[in-house]
Structure 1
Amino acid sequence: MVLCHQAVSSVLRGIEPLLLLEQLGSTFFYASLQMVVKDRSVNASYPNASLSSEESQQKFISDFYMIYYLILQVAPILPAVLLAKTGDRRWRKAPVVVPLFGYLQCSLVLLLVVLLRLPLEVMFGAGTLFGLFGGFCTFWSGVMTVTSLGSTAADRSKVLMRMELLYGMVGVAGNLVSGHLFLLCSSSLGRGTVALIVSALMILLCLIHAVGLLQVKVINQDSNDECQALSNAPSEGTTEAPLEINKVNVALLIAAAMLYVSGHDGAVDMLPTFTMKDPLNWNATQLGYGNAASSVINITSFLGVVVFRRCVGEIVLILISMVSFASGIFFMSFVKATYMFYIARSLNMFALISMPTIRSLLSQQVPASSCGITLTSLQVSLKVAGLAYVPAFTKIYQKTLSWFPGFIFTLAATLTVLGMIPISIVGCRSPQKNLNEKIRRKKENQHHKP
């Protein structure tokens, strides 16, 4: 009985319940936001432009998301750095807890937009406030930092992918339900009311868990037992906690991440807009199923890590992931029917291995005391990249809408292939780096011997 109680207590104090609640809440929120934007786009018109009704709707939707995503890229930059420093020096849970307040107010504001028929532009203010609370970049880097500190370097990529697996499984369930939940309402209240109420409740429970129950554990990365285990782990990256920051590898990994995320997020952000037009023209339920298919990639990516890491290192894992995404998103350029969409997404089955593995490698290039600020610096760099790829993908999509709407997906595949170059350079540098690190540690141990 005591062991059962301890097991339950350990689970409740872990990061997993928090991720479950946050993913459910954010899934219902974003599904509702997508459909509310589509509903409002019906009345969109551009008198000074010779656009058809469908082109006007597509321009309205893509312009809204461009501004909204740009706000989400810019607003969190300074708060993310401040919260990361707070997490490293004082309160480790700060980067996890504070952004949840932003999530909660976003759900409540969108609920008011639906209930009171407020202008959709109100969400720009909600997005700004969400960013000032740190945004998703701070929340996710906080989660990754807590997870990284609670794992050994040898198991870190697997543990981080386990978080992606949980996030994906919950996302699949939430997205399958979200479309039906969005339509569950009375005519007087407006579509999406129930989904947004549930979203706010999930985020509130998540916030309570983060403040009252979440426990941060730190594993000593320099223990002799751990170093012995690490010596047997197949990896192309640094396998022991470094004495100083490997600046070249850090720069290369961040550059690779920026190229990959520019292609990945730039394309994925445009998918809802792309699927809302002919010939797909999805409704709320179909949109939920499409989002669920995207969440399945979290699961297949985790399985890929479990299988591939037995015979290849982290560098090769990242390259496999990038090839998976590039091939699938290139196929998306030519999608004309719903079944083709699912084929394209199936090719992306390992696409989400890249970023957790890059974070794992990145955390191995710095001392543990700099882990939080380094991972947050990565997230901030990705936000800066978003200032370029968000408007670029939006405007390119609008310009190519009439002759090749899938061109943006071809562009995304190209950026992903370019991201493979710095990763390959890190792979070439790592064996020499490991050798130099072992030699230096050996000399220091001999120096400290009496």
Structure 2
Amino acid sequence: MRRLYLIEPVVGVYAFAMFMTYPLLQQYIYRRLWEQLTGAPYASNVNFSRCEDDNSNLSRQHEAVQREASLFFLYSELCFLFPSLIMSLLLVSLSDQCGRKVAIVVPLVGDVLFTLSYFLVSRYSLSLNILLGASFLTGLMGGPASLVGGCFAYLADICDNGEKTVRMALLDMLLGVLSGLASLCTGFFIRASGFTLPFLTATILHLINLAYALCLLRETVVAPPLNSTDSSRWRSPLQGLRAQFQGFYLLFAASSRRRNALLLLSLLAFAFYKVAKMGGLSVFLLYELNAPLCWTEVLVGYGSAISTAIYLSSFAGVYILSACLRDAFIVLLGLLSVAAGMVMAAFAKTTLFMFLGALFACVAFVEMLSVGASLTVFSSIYASTVSWFSGFSFLLAAGLTLIPMILIGTVLCLRLDVYSEAEALTAENDNETPGEMLQMPSWDAS
């Protein structure tokens, strides 16, 4: 059987299955908790009449379900986060020695087990605690960070510089298009067949993806024989992990103070941005299901599709703005759009206004550590504030975007983003340190 150097099908199928699963599992957990706490079936076709009811007891039930759902998502994320942080580093490091498919196949096995667990719990009405175990097991398999990292590393192995840029852009396009399409289909799928069949469909898609990766995808890294005496070609996962941390340390040790300051401010700005953005987005669905919106599963699908599809237009915006603005100013505009979207969502009382908030708030994708931290923090905050102001999480997210704005403004004011070749040569001559010639990416678009 002829094997292929095509990683795009893996990313495409994974994006569709994953972004179909995420809003699916949130709504399933919400409905299960509704039935447990209220003792009444969840009827989505009467959402709006139920929201218009002024019954104080019903309002308290809404708040109780919202609180328990957000706490369940918090526990689930914690069960996934800690093992995935370690395993993703180990798997990506191991893929340098044993082949990229290690970082691709293992997470796919975890996704199969994860969606299969939801299928079984939905089909047989099993305890929701099983799903916490499924999250932990998926984290042990590496999770999305390992798979996406492995896929991009696979491209880096087989492409030269020009082709690499095009194919990585294609992967980003696949993520944007198929995630939006999957989110849009989820609502109609739930309405037509409930939850069991969609979970089964996601499981089958992951199985097909796993079969492709195992049987048709060609490996790019040739692993040394087990009895090889060439120690330079073989490192254990722990040795590879140690080498990564050593490289991170040398990145700072071999750079000037000016570049270290730029790097630290950039990393802090990025981390605060991710926490603010993904923390706010993590409670969007709960907010949409609550009064006064009380969206149905179809409207939730539309909202999720808008949130992911807007990512495509960001490419055009960056391309156009980069012709007349420096990178730092483009970043500031993006942060302003995120803050505006969160503020709009906090006070949204109508469907149209909520759609506009989602449109502004969603500009880019996620990083594992920032996503985990933001989901953990904002889920607990939402549970604590839902009874008095459910939009508080969005105002907090909007406020947090001020921190990366200030950090980027500091970079601009101190002109840390302007680092000329002449300055680099002067620093090298003064310090006689070869590492001073390491060049950091500039924020200057020119």
TM-score (norm 2): 0.74
The letter of the residue matching 2:370 is L
Task: Identify the residue that residue 197 of structure 1 maps to in structure 2.
Answer: 200
Q: Which of 121, 124, 134 does residue 116 from structure 1 map onto?
A: 124
Once the two structures are TM-superposed, the CA of residue 171 in structure 1 deviates from its matched residue by 1.5
- Contact 2:303/2:358 (8 A) holds in 1: no
The letter of the residue matching 2:138 is F
- The 3 A distance-change label for structure 1 pair 43 and 208 is same
- Contact 2:382/2:393 (8 A) holds in 1: yes
The yes-or-no answer on 1:432 pairing with 2:424 is no
Question: CA offsets, 1:288-335, max 9 Å, x none?
Answer: 111111111221222223323333444333333222211111211111
The separation in 1 between residues aligned to 2:421 and 2:217, in whole angstroms, is 35
The letter of the residue matching 1:140 is V
The letter of the residue matching 2:150 is G
Q: Which of 357, 363, 377 does residue 392 from structure 1 map onto?
A: 377
Q: Tell me, which stretches of 5 or more residues in structure 1 are unaligned?
A: 1-8, 186-190, 219-241, 356-378, 445-450
Q: Tell me, which stretches of 5 or more residues in structure 2 are unaligned?
A: 39-56, 222-247, 254-259, 435-446
Task: Identify the residue that residue 151 of structure 2 maps to in structure 1.
Answer: 143
The letter of the residue matching 2:364 is L
Question: CA offsets, 1:241-270, max 9 Å, x none?
Answer: x9x625625443332222111111111110
The separation in 2 between residues aligned to 1:140 and 1:421, in whole angstroms, is 31
Once the two structures are TM-superposed, the CA of residue 154 in structure 1 deviates from its matched residue by 8.9
Question: CA offsets, 1:404-435, max 9 Å, x none?
Answer: 21111111112122123444555633422655
Task: Identify the residue that residue 111 of structure 2 maps to in structure 1.
Answer: 103
The separation in 2 between residues aligned to 1:70 and 1:174, in whole angstroms, is 25
- Contact 1:69/1:390 (8 A) holds in 2: yes
Task: Identify the residue that residue 18 of structure 2 maps to in structure 1.
Answer: 26
Give 1:211-230 correspondences, 5 Å limit: 211-214=214-217
The separation in 2 between residues aligned to 1:286 and 1:65, in whole angstroms, is 21
Aligned length: 376
The letter of the residue matching 2:272 is L
- The 3 A distance-change label for structure 1 pair 15 and 34 is same
Task: Identify the residue that residue 289 of structure 2 maps to in structure 1.
Answer: 276
- The 3 A distance-change label for structure 1 pair 44 and 131 is same
Give 1:71-82 correspondences, 5 Å limit: 71-82=79-90
Task: Identify the residue that residue 333 of structure 1 maps to in structure 2.
Answer: 346
- Contact 1:41/1:57 (8 A) holds in 2: yes
- The 3 A distance-change label for structure 1 pair 215 and 322 is farther
Q: Which of 405, 410, 424 does residue 395 from structure 2 map onto?
A: 410
- The 3 A distance-change label for structure 1 pair 421 and 438 is farther
The separation in 1 between residues aligned to 2:70 and 2:348, in whole angstroms, is 19
- Contact 1:329/1:348 (8 A) holds in 2: yes
The letter of the residue matching 1:37 is I
The separation in 1 between residues aligned to 2:388 and 2:263, in whole angstroms, is 41
- The 3 A distance-change label for structure 1 pair 300 and 412 is same
How much is the aligned-residue C-alpha RMSD, in angstroms?
3.3
The yes-or-no answer on 1:84 pairing with 2:92 is yes
Q: Which of 246, 251, 264 does residue 245 from structure 1 map onto?
A: 251
Task: Identify the residue that residue 211 of structure 2 maps to in structure 1.
Answer: 208
Q: Which of 405, 408, 422 does residue 420 from structure 1 map onto?
A: 405
Task: Identify the residue that residue 306 of structure 1 maps to in structure 2.
Answer: 319
Q: Secondary structure at the match of 1:396?
A: helix
- The 3 A distance-change label for structure 1 pair 405 and 157 is farther
The separation in 2 between residues aligned to 1:316 and 1:95, in whole angstroms, is 36
- The 3 A distance-change label for structure 1 pair 407 and 68 is same
The separation in 2 between residues aligned to 1:326 and 1:143, in whole angstroms, is 32
The separation in 2 between residues aligned to 1:216 and 1:315, in whole angstroms, is 39
Give 1:293-372 correspondences, 5 Å limit: 293-348=306-361, 351-352=363-364
Once the two structures are TM-superposed, the CA of residue 396 in structure 1 deviates from its matched residue by 2.4
Q: Secondary structure at the match of 1:42?
A: helix
TM-score (norm 1): 0.74
Once the two structures are TM-superposed, the CA of residue 286 in structure 1 deviates from its matched residue by 1.5
The separation in 1 between residues aligned to 2:63 and 2:79, in whole angstroms, is 24
Q: Which of 5, 29, 53 does residue 13 from structure 1 map onto?
A: 5
The letter of the residue matching 1:343 is L
Q: Larger Rg: 1 or 2?
A: 2
Identical-pair percentage: 25
The separation in 1 between residues aligned to 2:110 and 2:406, in whole angstroms, is 37
